[in-house]
């Protein structure tokens, strides 16, 4: 079975919604992506934590058989992020961010990781994403995520990264900000010209769009009744999508469409609880059931 290499942030998150508040939970783009991807393939994780990183969170990764040889433990505190949601959970404000051990992080891939065929560069500085990529030999398919911060502060690095990856995943407002286009269609076409073969635009609770040459697919979002914490939904989406592609080891349009729907399914579960709470009780049967519901929801010609 193919493995998937994932790098990104590992964080202690404090999240506040109008209803609940939790401190120092396991978070970070790599944590969400790795756990979601592990439902499809074994994951090699590259990241950094501080000496205060709780043993129970390390045990959680191990429960999902995530390989931790690429996890560096440095002196100092783990990366911390805190955010607050409005009643409309699409609207989030970052309250504080402390890079801590990330400030001096220079990822070094264990020898055994270098030939991992599928790679997901979850959200961290594009320079770090590139640094990881440079150490991978002959990757088959590279997916990368990014955020508004990097579009605003390290645009040149991001543009360089685009020439080295196969698929960029970003959300709708970031897509518009990046390209200065109001139309997501025109914006995605512009990003394709900058390098990647595929672009996925996430639209939060409104689903997502997949673009490529001769490829357009609009995936619905699952109509959620039970939504507690949207943090990490995008990371779960992209991690599961990359995991599905690695598992099937095919990159035809049909497989890409299915990967996007499995990504949406994992994201929809993740928001049902804080941190990685929901994914801890998730089974492959639950995922399959939700995938079938996605299929049913998007059919409009019932014979
Ligand atoms: P998302 O909800 O997909 O935007 O991802 C939320 C996760 O991103 C949280 O668990 C945070 O720890 C992490 N995060 C927030 N800011 C950053 C940043 N600047 N770099 C890397 N990860 C971040």
Is the pTM of the predicted complex or chain greater than 0.95? yes
Ligand 1: distance of its center to the CA of 122 in Å? 9
Q: What is the pLDDT of residues 181-226, one digit of tens each?
A: 999 999 999 999 999 999 999 998 889 999 999 999 999 989 888 8
Of the candidates 231, 241, 102, 100, which has an alpha carbon nearest to the alpha carbon of residue 169? 241
28 lines ligand 1 (CB under 6 A): yes
Examine the pLDDT at 27 and tell me if it is beyond 90.
yes
- Closest protein CA for atom 12 of ligand 1: 28
The owner of tokens 């994201």 is 267
Ligand 1: distance of its center to the CA of 271 in Å? 15
**Which pLDDT value is given to residue 303?**
76
231 lines ligand 1 (CB under 6 A): yes
Ligand 1: distance of its center to the CA of 299 in Å? 34
67 lines ligand 1 (CB under 6 A): no
Task: Tell me what percent of the chain is helix, strand and coil, each rounded to the nearest 5.
Answer: 40, 25, 35
Q: In percent, how much of the chain has pLDDT > 90?
A: 93
121 lines ligand 1 (CB under 6 A): no
């Amino acid at each position: 079975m193919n493995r998937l290499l994932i790098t990104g942030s590992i964080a202690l998150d404090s999240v506040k919604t109008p209803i609940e508040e939790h401190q120092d939970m396991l978070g970070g783009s790599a944590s969400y992506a790795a756990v979601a991807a592990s439902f499809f393939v074994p994951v090699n994780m590259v990241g950094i934590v501080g000496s205060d990183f709780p043993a129970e969170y390390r045990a959680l990764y191990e429960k999902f058989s995530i390989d931790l040889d690429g996890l560096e433990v440095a002196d100092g505190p783990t990366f911390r992020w805190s955010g607050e949601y409005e009643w409309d959970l699409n609207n989030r404000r970052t309250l504080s961010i402390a890079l801590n051990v990330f400030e001096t992080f220079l990822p070094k891939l264990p020898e055994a990781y270098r030939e991992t065929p599928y790679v997901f560069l979850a959200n961290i500085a594009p320079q770090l994403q590139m640094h990881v990529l440079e150490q991978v030999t002959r990757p088959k398919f590279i997916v990368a995520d990014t955020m508004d911060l990097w579009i605003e502060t390290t645009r040149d690095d991001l543009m360089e990264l685009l020439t080295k990856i196969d698929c960029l995943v970003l959300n709708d407002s970031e897509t518009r900000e990046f390209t200065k286009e109001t139309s997501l269609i025109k914006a995605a076409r512009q990003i394709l010209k900058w390098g990647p073969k595929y672009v996925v635009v996430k639209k939060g609770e409104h689903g997502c769009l997949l673009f490529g040459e001769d490829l357009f697919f609009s995936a619905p979002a699952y109509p959620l009744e039970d939504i507690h914490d949207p943090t990490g939904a995008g990371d779960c989406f992209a991690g599961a999508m990359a995991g599905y592609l690695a598992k099937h080891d095919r990159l035809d349009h049909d497989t890409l469409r299915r990967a996007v729907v499995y990504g949406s399914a994992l994201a929809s579960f993740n928001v049902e609880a804080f941190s990685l709470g929901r994914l801890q009780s998730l089974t492959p049967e639950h995922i399959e059931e939700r995938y079938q519901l996605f299929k049913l929801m998007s059919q409009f010609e019932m014979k």
